Amino acid sequence: ISTARIEELVDELKAEFTIVIVTHNMQQAARISDYTAYMYLGEMVEFGVTDELFVKPKKKETEDYITGRFG
């Protein structure tokens, strides 16, 4: 099964179910999620609406990770 098909299925299912996806692929997270949590060493660093978190994160640690300066 391709990544694109899985993402299509998630998009269909999220209308009826809560789905938790764990990924290191930031592009995929941005494409398929409504909300995103950035976690580091088991602790939640930041949580918010995906579009806001990826465009204007509140925490420097989150910004460093999504821009590739850390991780």
Domain count, the chain: 1
The verdict on residue 71 lying in a domain is no
* CA gap 24, 38 in Å, rounded: 10
8 lies in some domain: yes
- Does a structural domain hold residue 48? yes
Domain assignment present for residue 33? The answer is yes
Interval 9-55: pLDDT, tens: 999 999 999 999 999 888 999 999 999 999 999 999 999 999 999 99
Confidence band for 70, pLDDT divided at 50, 70 and 90: confident
Spatial separation of the C-alpha atoms in residues 68 and 62, rounded to whole Å? 10
Tokens at residue 48, please? 């918010």
- For the chain, strand residue ranges (E) read 35-40, 43-49
Place 60 in a pLDDT band, splitting at 50, 70 and 90.
Answer: very high
User: Which pTM does this prediction carry?
Assistant: 0.83
For residue 22, being part of any structural domain is answered with: yes
Query: How many whole angstroms separate alpha carbon 58 and alpha carbon 48?
Result: 9
Determine the structural domain holding residue 30 and report its residue range. 3-66
